[in-house]
Amino acid sequence: VRHTIQVRVRYADTDAAGIVHYAQFLAYLEAARADALRALGLVRESIVAFSLGTMVLDATLRYRSSARFDDLLDVAAWVTEVSATRFRWVYEIHRNSDRTLVLTAETEQCWSDGVGCSREASLPPWLDEALQRLGDVSPS
Amino acid sequence: VRHTIQVRVRYADTDAAGIVHYAQFLAYLEAARADALRALGLVRESIVAFSLGTMVLDATLRYRSSARFDDLLDVAAWVTEVSATRFRWVYEIHRNSDRTLVLTAETEQCWSDGVGCSREASLPPWLDEALQRLGDVSPS
Amino acid sequence: VRHTIQVRVRYADTDAAGIVHYAQFLAYLEAARADALRALGLVRESIVAFSLGTMVLDATLRYRSSARFDDLLDVAAWVTEVSATRFRWVYEIHRNSDRTLVLTAETEQCWSDGVGCSREASLPPWLDEALQRLGDVSPS
Amino acid sequence: VRHTIQVRVRYADTDAAGIVHYAQFLAYLEAARADALRALGLVRESIVAFSLGTMVLDATLRYRSSARFDDLLDVAAWVTEVSATRFRWVYEIHRNSDRTLVLTAETEQCWSDGVGCSREASLPPWLDEALQRLGDVSPS
C-alpha cells in the first residue's frame, strides 16, 4: 500500500538559495510515515509508540529537482522489507502541479530497546501487521 | 476576517520534553499568514512577494499550554492594524480535539526595501487591500 | 552576570530572503541559557534538568537588523527577575564584526510540574542560586 | 585534509525521544563543509558562493549511535572525489567525551547553473583548488 500525503512548503523550510533546505525533506518523510499508520486506522498511542520506539539506521536521499516556497508536494511512502526486527520504507516526492520528481529516498528502521536496536525482541505484533499492510509483502 | 489553518504536529517539531519546541510555533504562524493570503485569492507570485518583501519587526508569544506530537492544531490569524507602512497580525492556536488554548501571539511587520523598513514607499496596493480585508478595519 | 556565547550562522538557519529565519533566533537564545549555566560550573545533569524542567511562558523578540549566513553573532543572556517560581531572561544579539544590534529579546520561564507551572514547588535550590548569580539581584 | 569542527548539541536539535533528530545531522555536516573552506583561508564571499552555488545530489546517512542534548560532537569532513563538475564529501561524527561513533555520511554535490547541475561549466578554479586540498586526490 502506497500512502501519499500533501505537504505545502513553508517559508521556514527554505534556505538562502530560495529552495527547500536539504535536511527538511527528512521531516516530510517522517510525516508521511506517521500518516500512513494513521490511515491504517492505528490509534494515536500506536503512532506515538512507533515514532518513539523505532530508530532510524540509515537514510538515503536523492535530490532530483528543487522544491520552492508554496509548492504543494505529494509525499508517497511505502514499505518494502519487513524482517523480524527491521523494516525499510521507500519514498517519492513529486511537485503536485506538474508531477516533477523532487526526491526519492529510503530509510531503514529497527525496533529499539532504548539504546540500540533490540536484539531479542521482535517487532510488536500491531506494528508488524501494520508494516505488512504497507508493504508489497506476500503473506507466507 | 479571521483565517484558520490546521497543522498536524510533526515528530520533528518536538523536543526532548516531548512537546512542540518553543521556536516551532513561529513557523506555524508564518504558514497561517501565507494561507490567509491564498484564501483571499492572491496568486502565488503575490504570496512569495509578501513573504520575501516584508520584515518582521517584533514577535510576542504567550505559551498557554503544551502541544504534542500528532496533535491537530487550529492556527488562526488575522490583521489588527494597517498603517501606510506597517501592519500587525494576531494569532491564536487551539488544540483541535478539546479546544485547549495553546498559544496567543502577535507580530508586527513592515514592507522592506531590502535592508530595513522602507521609509518612503508605502505598502503595495495589492498588499494593502489584502491586509484591509484580513483586518477588522473600517474603511475611512 | 551577563553571559555571551558566539554563534556562527549556519546555512540551514537562513530562509529564502537570505537572512536568518525569524524563528531560528529562539534556538540561539536557548543555547545561550544552557551555556550560561555551564559557565557557572553546573554539571550536565543540571543543565539537562533545567532545560527539561522549565517551561517558557512568554517570549518577546525585537528584530533590529538582519543576520546572514556565515555571520558570527555574539549572543548575550542574563537574568533580570527571580521570584519563588518564575524568572526572566533578557538577551542581546550583536553581529561580531561591526557590533550591529541584531536582536533584543526577553523570555519568562517557570519551574514546571510536567503539565504547567508548579504552583506549590518553588525553584530547586541549585537553580535558584544559579539564577541569582546570573542576575543583577542584590542578595537579601 | 580532514577538517573537524565541534558542535554542541542544542536543546532545539532534540526530539521527543530525547535524542538529536535524524534530520538535524545534515545541518551539522553543512556547517563542517563551510568551516572546512574557512579553514583553508577562503574569504566569506567564496563560502557564500559555495553554499549558494552548489546543489546536493544525494546524501547517505548511517546512524550509529544516538547523540543527546548538551553532547559535544566532533564533526569531521573531507573530500574523496573531485571531477570536472561534481565532488563527494565524507563525514564522521564522534561524541567528544568517549569517542563513540555517532554518524557516518556521504554527500555528492555539483556546481549548479541555478536550475540543475551545470552541464557545460566546470567548477570555478578557486573551488576546484579548495576541494583538491580537502581531498586525498593526487594531482594528475
What pLDDT, on a 0 to 100 scale, did the predictor assign at position C22? 98
User: What's the average model confidence in pLDDT over A11-15?
Assistant: 97
Strand intervals (E) in chain A: 3-8, 54-63, 72-82, 86-95, 101-111
Answer whether residue D113 shows pLDDT above 80.
Answer: no
Quick one: angle between helices A44-53 and A125-134, nearest 10? 90
Q: Considering only C55-59, C108-112, D25-29, D113-117, which range has the smallest mean pLDDT?
A: D113-117
Inter-chain contacts counted by CB atoms under 8 A, chains B and D: 29
The residues near A13 (Cβ < 8 Å, ≥ 6 apart) are A20, A21, A24, A69
Answer whether residue D112 shows pLDDT above 90.
Answer: no
What pLDDT, on a 0 to 100 scale, did the predictor assign at position A139? 47
The DSSP-derived string for chain D is --EEEEEEPPGGGB-TTSBB-TTTHHHHHHHHHHHHHHHTT--HHHHHHHHHHEEEEEEEEEE-S--BTT-EEEEEEEEEEE-SSEEEEEEEEEETTT--EEEEEEEEEEEB-SSSB-SS----HHHHHHHHHHBT----
What pLDDT, on a 0 to 100 scale, did the predictor assign at position A136? 65
> Rounded to whole angstroms, how far apart are CA atoms B55 and C65?
10
pLDDT band at C85 (very low <50, low <70, confident <90, very high): confident
> Rounded to whole angstroms, how far apart are CA atoms A126 and D1?
49
pLDDT-above-90 percentage for chain A? 83
pLDDT band at C74 (very low <50, low <70, confident <90, very high): very high
Interface test with D, best of C70, C71, C72 (most D CBs within 10 A): C70
Interface test with D, best of A13, A15, A19, A22 (most D CBs within 10 A): A22
Answer whether residue A51 shows pLDDT above 50.
Answer: yes
- Which residues of chain B have a Cβ shorter than 8 Å from any chain C Cβ? 16-17, 22-24, 26-27, 30, 51-52, 55-63, 65-66, 115-116
Cα→Cα distances B79→B121, B139, C122, Å: 20, 14, 39
Q: Which chains touch D (3 or more CB pairs under 8 A)?
A: A, B, C
* Residue in D with minimal Cα distance to C28: D10
Give me C4's grid cell.
555571551
Mean pLDDT of chain C: 93
pLDDT band at A58 (very low <50, low <70, confident <90, very high): very high
- What confidence tens digit (pLDDT) does each residue in C2-60 have? 999 999 999 999 999 999 999 999 999 999 999 999 999 999 999 999 999 999 999 99
What pLDDT, on a 0 to 100 scale, did the predictor assign at position B140? 43
Of residues A22, A52, A116, nearest to D56 (C-beta): A22
pLDDT band at A140 (very low <50, low <70, confident <90, very high): very low
Which residues in chain B are closer than 8 Å to A8, comparing Cβ atoms? Answer: 31, 35
Answer whether residue A23 shows pLDDT above 60.
Answer: yes
> Rounded to whole angstroms, how far apart are CA atoms B36 and B45?
14
Q: Considering only A59-68, B90-99, C119-128, D76-85, which range has the smallest mean pLDDT?
A: C119-128
pLDDT band at B136 (very low <50, low <70, confident <90, very high): low
Answer whether residue A120 shows pLDDT above 80.
Answer: no
> With b meaning 16 or more CB within 10 Å and e meaning fewer, what string describes A52-88?
bbbbbbbbbbebbebbbbbbebbbbbbbeebeebbbb
Of residues A10, A34, A35, nearest to B31 (C-beta): A10
What pLDDT, on a 0 to 100 scale, did the predictor assign at position C41? 96
User: What's the average model confidence in pLDDT over B7-36?
Assistant: 97
Answer whether residue C139 shows pLDDT above 50.
Answer: no
Answer whether residue D21 shows pLDDT above 80.
Answer: yes
ipTM of the complex: 0.94
Contact check, Cβ <8 Å, B63/C52: no
Cα→Cα distances C37→B17, B20, C126, Å: 19, 23, 11
Answer whether residue A20 shows pLDDT above 60.
Answer: yes
Q: Is C16 helix (H, G, I), strand (E, B) or coil?
A: coil
* Residue in D with minimal Cα distance to C10: D31
- Which residues of chain D have a Cβ shorter than 8 Å from any chain C Cβ? 8, 10-12, 26-27, 30-31, 34-35, 44, 47-48, 51, 69-70
Distance from CA of C129 to the nearest CA of B (A): 23
Q: Which chains touch C (3 or more CB pairs under 8 A)?
A: A, B, D
Answer whether residue B37 shows pLDDT above 70.
Answer: yes
What pLDDT, on a 0 to 100 scale, did the predictor assign at position C136? 65
Q: Considering only C70-74, C123-127, D98-102, which range has the smallest mean pLDDT?
A: C123-127
pLDDT band at D95 (very low <50, low <70, confident <90, very high): very high
pLDDT band at B122 (very low <50, low <70, confident <90, very high): confident
User: What's the average model confidence in pLDDT over A101-120?
Assistant: 88
Contact check, Cβ <8 Å, A23/C14: no
Phi and psi for B86 in degrees, rounded to 5? -130, 160
